[in-house]
Every structure is written in structure tokens, then in C-alpha cells.
């Protein structure tokens, strides 16, 4: 069964450094998402992406965050200057059009020191 893959599984970064989290969505999917889960808290929506542009973003997704689909397969989340509070599990998801479910990757654990 096709799946969403995320790399790396764990990223440790110094505060203030830039970090790029990578995702390969399911190949025929059209909608792409990033979510995060801070330890002990809910899974929270960050951003959705369709037709090469952001379709929706949350309050969390400020100017420090950006997303890109640099080629036909990868979908990346960049955090320009990381803060301690950015430490979380980051999940990528993708979906087909219409009333189809979002499928999630296994996440990247981001630890900011």
C-alpha cells in the first residue's frame, strides 16, 4: 500500500538554526499538509498546500515557516530560525481530491537545543 514517507526521523538542531523537514507524499495525491504535535498535546494543523500554493494556514504558521514542493515528489517544511518551542513531532499528510482521508507519515521528531 502506498505511504507517505518523512525524513529524517529525528532532527536535533541548535536554537536559531534553520531546519528543513522532508516529505514524499503518496504519488497521485494532490493535497499536502503539515501538522505538529508538541509532547502531551493535540495534533495541530500548520498548513495545507494545493496546486503549488498555500491554500490554508494556521496562526502557528508564521513568517518563520515556509513550504515548498521543489519537484514532482518532495514536499518540504522549512523553519528559518528555530526556537525552543518548535520542538515537536512534525507530521506530513497527503490526500486525493474530494471526501478522501488524509494519510500521514510517521513524523519527524524535531528537538531544539
Q: Considering only residues 11, 13, 50, 64, which one is a binding residue for another protein as defined by CB under 8 A?
A: 50
> What DSSP letter does each residue of the chain carry, written as one string?
----EEE-SEEEE-TT--EEEEEE--TT--EEEEEEE-TTS-EEEEEEEETTEEEEE-TT--TTEEEE--SSS-EEEEESS--GGG-EEEEEEEE-SSS---EE---EEEEE-
Q: Considering only residues 33, 77, 79, 82, which one is a binding residue for another protein as defined by CB under 8 A?
A: 33
Q: Which is nearer to another protein, 6 or 82 (CB)?
A: 6
Q: Considering only residues 44, 60, 64, 66, which one is a binding residue for another protein as defined by CB under 8 A?
A: 44
Which region among 13-21, 63-71, 72-80, 102-110 touches another protein (by CB under 8 A)?
A: 102-110
Amino acid at each position: 500500500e502506498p505511504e507517505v514517507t518523512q525524513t529524517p526521523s529525528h532532527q536535533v538542531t541548535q536554537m536559531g538554526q534553520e531546519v528543513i523537514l522532508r516529505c514524499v507524499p503518496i504519488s497521485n495525491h494532490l493535497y499536502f499538509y503539515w501538522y505538529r504535535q508538541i509532547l502531551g498535546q493535540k495534533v495541530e494543523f500548520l498548513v495545507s498546500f494545493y496546486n503549488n500554493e498555500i491554500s490554508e494556514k494556521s496562526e502557528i504558521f508564521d513568517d518563520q515557516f515556509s513550504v515548498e514542493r521543489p519537484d514532482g515528489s518532495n514536499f518540504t517544511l522549512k523553519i528559518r530560525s528555530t526556537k525552543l518551542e518548535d520542538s515537536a513531532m512534525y507530521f506530513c499528510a497527503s490526500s486525493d481530491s474530494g471526501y478522501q482521508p488524509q494519510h500521514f507519515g510517521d513524523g519527524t521528531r524535531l528537538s531544539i537545543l
